[in-house]
């Protein structure tokens, strides 16, 4: 074996890395067990609030090798929403409102018509809304000029009356993009403040959509309000430290009295697990770091300490003698609650909740003036001891409690550079805002004005002089990125960029636990079947293959943890499927080795030739399947993306373990014993003397396939179209559980009137006492009000079953526009996979006929799945066609081309060995020689997906059924469709047939 030492070193390194990253999951699980034990009472009940208090108390504490619990949690292999429960949301930033705002809410009739037309075009187009708006405007008014609509005071400097339509559209496009990025940053900040463990927020490529996953949330209404609320940008006056320090001196006296009376317990920083336990046990406990711990770092990262300008704002460090003296008294209670930072008071991030609770108490509020409120800075500063600190601001409220100036006063804000080339932010106010801004800045010269978004202080610059005219600049020690971020924050109030929820899924924790159990059961059952089969068929060689499978699973989980990915139910399906497909590489190698052994070669030659000759076939098969996985990942979302990630990782690890690691074990076993068995007495002769003529039956196969497809078309017509899932047609779905079984037809009858006779489907879901309710009522209305209306109608419709305690376990929503886009991306994914495979096969086999035969067979397999689903639906066996169904179709395409490539590879080998023989005479020997591999691999994958169908749960039932159909017809098409199509389309020279160098009798095993 060449490069043996390199393979050994690489295996050790990969194993060590996987073990390292998986260790974080084990440590995190142990910490969570400690939290559960701490929060469990004598009766065995867990106090969730007490459990969370424990976890919060050690969030910033080292728990393993100087890693804090926060760091360990971020590195562990997380569980997806379908396994843990939680909420999945896709939001869309509305470009329509942005364009209206840029136009100054123009009432121009052509403008209004163009906007409406663009919204219609968007339903059937993948282009950006700005592009569609430009096309619509040209359609409505071919000679119209957009500059006449958009050249207003708000756009001065960017759009003039002479600007071309293309220039106007470029400005609009940039504003829309900025609005999406602004919304993304605002939502990310809100979610960080929400306190969800391992949240995931990302922009979806090529769209104005933002995907958010919040594991473990149990208050969906609160989340909806949090995500859908408009950004609230405000400018506030700030109390100087000299002004509020006397009040804090009184607060210190009060807290000291409370502590002496035993009513307050404020200790020092916990540095051990026992300290954390003690701190968690005391709800009043808090931590007071030394001021010196953060001063140096805070000064280094202060982004707004800078220059002076008569028309600018600049952050300076205000004097705080009174606070300094209080902080200097290390024995004072205030010094143990707060710390001194360059801008004034600050506190440990972990302790802000405790301070907030303290400051809301009536006796504490009475110490401070009624027009003083307290806010925290949004960006924490990291100290030398890894603790994070935020600045504390005393905000001066007006007479009516409102901010002196709101974000709606801003026309524009952007990142720029000052005369010294340093990044700064320029800000422009509208006329009304400019007057208020002049009054506000004139009254606060040499004082701070806080820029606040969603009650978080983003910056608090010092006014250097009255600012008139509405043009201002904020200068300081900014990086370009920080200046851009602050400019985006200032633009949050400039124009409306409302977000709407276009897709939503809520999974209850009980349903998540059930999914975990089903996933583990199906995985273990599938693994057990594969292990038993490989040993039964390949004897000791099977044991080696099983050992490679164990490494494979270990590597998959380790790489997932390294990529900080979450394990989902479709991800488990991907692992189960990988187990079945991983067998294929071992089968190819072992069958080739058995073939070489029949030639009388030595065992050393058998091993070398077996691996060498199978290598390229395995590579081709894995590349085509990986290509399908990549397309799934790129175009998929949510569960489909999770499946694709696991599938791609599984393909890579399967190739490495089957080709390299298994060879290490094979050679080690041979070296130790001098011999190695790759079959048993039964399996050695199992596929000998196989004879059939695929070309003879090709017309019958064509006719059979055509008949099934025609029957499927008839079934689709009878059924009124395919049974599309919510994510393809839009609407809302709910999983409802009862104490005992209720006929689905009865539930539907009770709901039809409540859903105003809209399309409503009710079917049993998994268990007899559980149903899935799907309705298209108000599918076009994506507002939270419509969500509540539909849910209320559902609850009212189920009132007659109140004695059975109906409980909504999960819910999902997909807006109509989102459903259209999902349909398009699914179709694009299928077509691109076919095109990609066509090009790859043509590149590898150098003849387009092989590509055509392969793609025709793949298209045949995909259509067969759809046809049989429709036929089953006609007989009352109904499964939805949704995103997971498309994942199954694409996986079948990957599996089927895998099988087809192996056969094509053998055909090509025979063509190279017998260049003068007609292709028709080479096909049957090639099919016969690969027949055992085809059947063994297909049987193994069939067993695995059948186990998934039985034990994988209702969520994956449709996926498993599609895979079962795909495996059966994929095997059939590889034998009777793909290769015959190649023969039928390839013109051959009429030359005398030469005798085959390799006869079917000599080639009865797979390559």
Q: Are residues 180 and 115 in the same domain?
A: yes
**Bridge partners, residue 768, by sequence:** none
* DSSP classification of residue 895: H
State the Cα–Cα distance between residues 639 and 820, nearest whole angstrom.
Answer: 18
User: Is residue 617 situated within a structural domain?
Assistant: yes
Instruction: Quote the percentage of the chain above a pLDDT of 90.
Output: 7
Q: Are residues 364 and 381 in the same domain?
A: yes
Residue 835 has pLDDT above 80, yes or no: yes
Q: What is the CATH number of the domain that holds 762?
A: 3.30.70.3400
Average confidence (pLDDT) over 725-738: 82
The predicted structure's pLDDT at residue 352: 81
Q: Are residues 31 and 136 in the same domain?
A: no
In degrees, to the nearest 5, what angle opens at C-alpha 369 toward C-alphas 367 and 373?
A: 100
What tens digit of pLDDT does each residue of 817-834 get?
Answer: 666 777 777 788 788 888
User: Is residue 387 situated within a structural domain?
Assistant: yes
Tell me if residue 249 falls in helix, strand or coil: helix
The predicted structure's pLDDT at residue 1002: 40
Confidence of residue 1005 (pLDDT cuts 50, 70, 90): very low
State the Cα–Cα distance between residues 833 and 630, nearest whole angstrom.
Answer: 9
User: Is residue 744 situated within a structural domain?
Assistant: yes
Residue whose C-alpha is closest to residue 541's, from 588, 496, 576, 508:
588
Q: Are residues 828 and 809 in the same domain?
A: no
Residue 82 has pLDDT above 80, yes or no: no
Residue whose C-alpha is closest to residue 945's, from 567, 581, 517, 514:
581
User: Is residue 997 situated within a structural domain?
Assistant: no
State the Cα–Cα distance between residues 736 and 717, nearest whole angstrom.
Answer: 31
Q: Are residues 339 and 445 in the same domain?
A: yes
3-state helix, strand, coil in the chain (%, to 5): 60, 15, 25
916: Cα separation from own chain's centroid: 54
Place of tokens 């599309």: 724
CA dihedral 895, 900, 905, 911 (to 10 degrees): 180
Q: Tell me how crowded residue 55 is: count the other CB atoms within 10 A of its CB.
A: 20
Q: Are residues 751 and 840 in the same domain?
A: no
User: Is residue 403 situated within a structural domain?
Assistant: yes
State the Cα–Cα distance between residues 288 and 286, nearest whole angstrom.
Answer: 7
Q: Tell me how crowded residue 752 is: count the other CB atoms within 10 A of its CB.
A: 16
Confidence of residue 712 (pLDDT cuts 50, 70, 90): very high
* DSSP classification of residue 836: H
Q: Are residues 779 and 672 in the same domain?
A: no
The predicted structure's pLDDT at residue 713: 93
Return the structure tokens found at 928.
């016969």
Alpha carbon of 288 to those of 44, 241, 381, 409: distances in Å? 34, 20, 15, 40
User: Is residue 994 situated within a structural domain?
Assistant: no
Q: Are residues 223 and 301 in the same domain?
A: no
Average confidence (pLDDT) over 377-388: 74
In degrees, to the nearest 5, what angle opens at C-alpha 564 toward C-alphas 563 and 567?
A: 105
The predicted structure's pLDDT at residue 318: 46
Q: Are 900 and 857 in contact (CB under 8 A)?
A: yes
Domain boundary residue, one of 497, 529, 547: 497
Judging by DSSP bridges, how do beta strands 423-429 and 312-314 pair with one another?
unpaired
Alpha carbon of 991 to those of 207, 915, 919: distances in Å? 58, 11, 12
Domain boundary residue, one of 447, 465, 497: 497
Alpha carbon of 990 to those of 278, 916, 917, 980, 986: distances in Å? 91, 10, 10, 19, 12
Place of tokens 């003296």: 325
Tell me if residue 264 falls in helix, strand or coil: coil
Confidence of residue 383 (pLDDT cuts 50, 70, 90): low
* DSSP classification of residue 660: I
Whole-model pTM over 0.85: no
Confidence of residue 757 (pLDDT cuts 50, 70, 90): low
State the Cα–Cα distance between residues 413 and 416, nearest whole angstrom.
Answer: 9
**Bridge partners, residue 775, by sequence:** 732, 760
Nearby residues of 486 by Cβ (< 8 Å), 6 or more positions away: 415, 425, 451, 458, 459, 474, 478
**Bridge partners, residue 631, by sequence:** none
Domain boundary residue, one of 497, 525, 540: 497
Q: Are 293 and 384 in contact (CB under 8 A)?
A: yes
**Backbone torsion region of residue 872, taken as left when φ is above 0, otherwise alpha when ψ lies between -120 and 50, otherwise beta:** alpha
Q: Are 261 and 353 in contact (CB under 8 A)?
A: no
* DSSP classification of residue 992: P
Tell me if residue 343 falls in helix, strand or coil: coil
Residue whose C-alpha is closest to residue 936's, from 573, 586, 486:
586
Tell me which H or E stretch contains 555: helix 540-562
State the Cα–Cα distance between residues 760 and 731, nearest whole angstrom.
Answer: 10
Q: Are residues 263 and 221 in the same domain?
A: no
When the pLDDT of each residue in the chain is averaged and rounded to a whole number, the result is: 78
The predicted structure's pLDDT at residue 382: 74
State the Cα–Cα distance between residues 889 and 895, nearest whole angstrom.
Answer: 10
For the residues of 478-511, what is the DSSP string, one character each? Answer: --HHHHHHHHHHHGGGTS---EEEEEEEEE-HHH
**Bridge partners, residue 238, by sequence:** 395
What tens digit of pLDDT does each residue of 12-28 get?
Answer: 999 999 998 888 888 88
Instruction: Quote the percentage of the chain above a pLDDT of 70.
Output: 83
Alpha carbon of 319 to those of 151, 240, 344, 345, 447: distances in Å? 46, 8, 8, 11, 11
For the residues of 747-811, what is the DSSP string, one character each? Answer: HHHHHHTTTTT--EEEEEESEEEEEEEEE-TTTT--SHHHHHHHHHHHHHHTGGGGGG--EEEEE
State the Cα–Cα distance between residues 721 and 713, nearest whole angstrom.
Answer: 9
User: Is residue 723 situated within a structural domain?
Assistant: no
Q: How many residues does the chain have?
A: 1007
Q: Are residues 242 and 217 in the same domain?
A: no
Q: Tell me how crowded residue 29 is: count the other CB atoms within 10 A of its CB.
A: 11
The predicted structure's pLDDT at residue 253: 85
Q: Are 654 and 541 in contact (CB under 8 A)?
A: no
What angle do the packed helices 848-874 and 698-719 form, to 10 degrees? 40
User: Is residue 399 situated within a structural domain?
Assistant: yes
Confidence of residue 324 (pLDDT cuts 50, 70, 90): low
Q: Count of domains in the chain?
A: 5
Dihedral sign from CA coordinates of 983, 987, 989, 991: positive
Q: Are 461 and 490 in contact (CB under 8 A)?
A: no
What residue numbers bound the domain in which 691 lies?
505-715+821-985
Tell me if residue 251 falls in helix, strand or coil: helix
Tell me if residue 76 falls in helix, strand or coil: coil
Tell me which H or E stretch contains 280: helix 273-281
Q: Are residues 217 and 244 in the same domain?
A: no
Average confidence (pLDDT) over 429-436: 87
Q: Are residues 774 and 744 in the same domain?
A: yes
Average confidence (pLDDT) over 516-530: 78
In degrees, to the nearest 5, what angle opens at C-alpha 109 toward C-alphas 103 and 115?
A: 60
Confidence of residue 198 (pLDDT cuts 50, 70, 90): low
Tell me if residue 90 falls in helix, strand or coil: strand
Return the structure tokens found at 279.
């701190």
Backbone angles phi, psi at 1003, to 5 degrees: -125, 80
* DSSP classification of residue 724: B
State the Cα–Cα distance between residues 932 and 592, nearest whole angstrom.
Answer: 11
949 or 70, which is more confident:
949
Average confidence (pLDDT) over 647-664: 87
What tens digit of pLDDT does each residue of 214-242 get?
Answer: 877 766 777 777 776 667 788 999 998 88
Q: Are 407 and 389 in contact (CB under 8 A)?
A: no
Q: Are 805 and 739 in contact (CB under 8 A)?
A: yes
State the Cα–Cα distance between residues 743 and 741, nearest whole angstrom.
Answer: 7
Residue 309 has pLDDT above 50, yes or no: no
The predicted structure's pLDDT at residue 170: 92
Q: Tell me how crowded residue 299 is: count the other CB atoms within 10 A of its CB.
A: 13
């Amino acid at each position: 074996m060449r490069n043996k030492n390199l393979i050994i070193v690489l295996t050790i390194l990969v194993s060590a890395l996987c073990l390292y990253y998986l260790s974080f999951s084990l440590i995190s699980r142990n910490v969570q067990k400690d939290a559960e034990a701490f929060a469990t009472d004598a009766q065995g009940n867990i106090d969730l609030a007490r459990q969370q208090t424990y976890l919060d108390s050690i969030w910033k504490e080292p728990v393993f090798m100087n890693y804090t619990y926060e760091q360990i949690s971020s590195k562990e292999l997380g569980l997806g929403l379908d396994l843990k429960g939680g909420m999945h949301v896709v939001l869309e930033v509305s470009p329509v409102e942005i364009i209206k705002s840029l136009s100054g809410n123009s009432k121009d009739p052509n403008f209004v018509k163009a906007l409406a037309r663009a919204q219609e075009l968007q339903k059937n187009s993948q282009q950006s809304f700005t592009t569609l708006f430009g096309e619509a405007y040209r359609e409505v008014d071919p000679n119209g000029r957009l500059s006449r609509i958009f050249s207003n005071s708000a756009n001065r400097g960017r759009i003039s009356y002479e600007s071309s339509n293309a220039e106007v559209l470029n400005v609009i496009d940039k504003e829309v993009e900025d609005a999406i990025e602004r919304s993304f940053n605002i939502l990310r900040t809100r979610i960080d403040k929400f306190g969800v463990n391992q949240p995931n927020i990302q922009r979806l490529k090529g769209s104005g959509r933002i995907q958010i996953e919040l594991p473990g949330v149990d208050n969906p209404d609160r989340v909806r309000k949090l995500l859908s609320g408009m950004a609230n940008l405000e400018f506030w006056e700030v109390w100087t430290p000299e002004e509020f320090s006397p009040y804090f001196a009184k607060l210190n006296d009060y807290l000291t009295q409370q502590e002496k009376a035993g009513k307050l317990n404020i200790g020092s920083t916990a540095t051990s697990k026992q300290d954390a336990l003690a701190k968690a046990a005391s709800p009043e406990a808090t931590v007071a770091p030394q001021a010196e711990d953060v001063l140096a770092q805070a000064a280094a990262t202060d982004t707004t300490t800078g220059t002076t300008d008569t028309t600018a704002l600049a952050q300076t460090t205000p004097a705080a003698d009174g606070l300094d003296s209080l902080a200097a008294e290390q024995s004072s209670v205030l010094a143990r609650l707060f710390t001194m930072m360059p801008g004034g008071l600050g506190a440990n991030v972990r302790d802000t909740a405790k301070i907030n609770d303290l400051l809301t108490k009536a006796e504490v509020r009475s110490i401070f003036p009624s027009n003083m409120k307290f806010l925290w800075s949004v960006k924490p500063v990291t100290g030398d001891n890894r603790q994070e600190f935020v600045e504390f601001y005393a905000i001066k409220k007006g007479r009516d409690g409102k901010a002196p100036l709101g974000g709606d006063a801003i026309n524009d804000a952007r990142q720029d550079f000052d005369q010294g080339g340093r990044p700064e932010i320029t800000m422009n106010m509208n006329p009304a805002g400019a007057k208020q801004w002049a009054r506000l800045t004139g009254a606060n010269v040499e004082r701070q004005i806080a820029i606040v978004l969603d009650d978080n202080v983003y910056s608090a610059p010092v006014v250097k002089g009255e600012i008139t005219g509405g043009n201002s600049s904020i200068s300081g020690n900014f990086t370009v990125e920080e200046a851009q971020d602050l400019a985006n924050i200032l633009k949050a109030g400039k124009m409306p960029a409302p977000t709407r929820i276009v897709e939503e899924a809520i999974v209850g924790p009980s349903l998540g636990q059930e999914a975990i159990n089903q996933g583990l059961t199906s995985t273990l059952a599938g693994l057990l079947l594969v292990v038993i089969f490989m040993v039964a068929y390949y004897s000791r060689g099977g044991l080696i293959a099983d050992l490679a499978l164990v490494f494979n699973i270990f590597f998959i989980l380790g790489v997932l943890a390294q990529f900080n990915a979450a394990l989902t139910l479709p991800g488990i399906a991907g692992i189960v499927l990988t187990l079945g497909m991983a067998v294929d590489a071992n089968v190819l190698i072992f069958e080739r080795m058995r073939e070489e052994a029949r030639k009388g070669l030595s065992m050393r030659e058998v091993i070398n030739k077996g691996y060498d000759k199978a290598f390229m076939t395995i590579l081709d098969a894995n590349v085509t399947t990986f290509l399908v996985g990549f397309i799934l990942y790129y175009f998929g979302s949510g569960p489909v993306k999770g499946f694709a990630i696991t599938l791609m990782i599984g393909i890579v690890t399967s190739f490495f373990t089957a080709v390299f690691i298994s060879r290490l074990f094979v050679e080690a076993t041979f070296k130790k014993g001098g011999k190695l068995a790759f079959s048993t007495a039964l399996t050695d002769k199992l596929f000998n003397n196989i004879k059939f003529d695929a070309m003879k039956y090709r017309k019958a196969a064509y006719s059979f396939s055509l008949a099934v497809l025609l029957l499927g078309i008839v079934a689709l017509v009878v059924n009124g179209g395919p049974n599309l899932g919510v994510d393809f047609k839009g609407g809302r779905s709910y999983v409802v559980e009862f104490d005992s079984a209720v006929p689905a037809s009865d539930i539907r009858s009770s709901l039809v009137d409540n859903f105003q006779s809209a399309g409503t489907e009710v079917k049993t879901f998994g268990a007899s006492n559980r149903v899935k309710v799907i309705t298209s009522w108000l599918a076009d209305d994506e507002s939270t009000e419509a969500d509540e209306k539909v849910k209320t109608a559902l609850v009212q419709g189920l009132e007659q079953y109140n004695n059975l305690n109906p409980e909504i376990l999960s819910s999902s929503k997909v807006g109509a526009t989102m459903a259209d886009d999902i349909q398009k991306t699914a179709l694009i994914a299928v077509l691109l996979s076919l095109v990609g495979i066509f090009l790859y096969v043509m590149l590898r086999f150098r003849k387009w006929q092989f590509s055509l035969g392969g793609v025709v067979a793949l298209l045949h397999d995909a259509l067969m799945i759809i046809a049989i689903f429709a036929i089953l639906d006609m007989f009352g066996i109904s499964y939805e066609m949704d995103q997971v169904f498309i994942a199954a179709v694409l996986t079948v395409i990957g599996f089927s081309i895998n099988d087809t490539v192996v056969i094509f590879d053998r055909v090509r080998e025979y063509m190279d060995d017998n260049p003068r023989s007609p292709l028709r005479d080479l096909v049957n020997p090639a099919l016969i020689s690969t027949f055992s591999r085809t059947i063994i691999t297909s049987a193994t994958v069939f067993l695995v997906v059948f186990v998934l169908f039985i034990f994988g749960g209702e969520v994956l039932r449709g996926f498993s059924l599609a895979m079962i159909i795909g495996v059966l017809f994929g095997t059939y098409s590889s034998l009777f469709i793909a290769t015959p199509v190649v023969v039928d389309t390839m013109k051959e020279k009429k030359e005398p047939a030469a005798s085959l160098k390799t006869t079917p009798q000599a080639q009865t095993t797979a390559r």
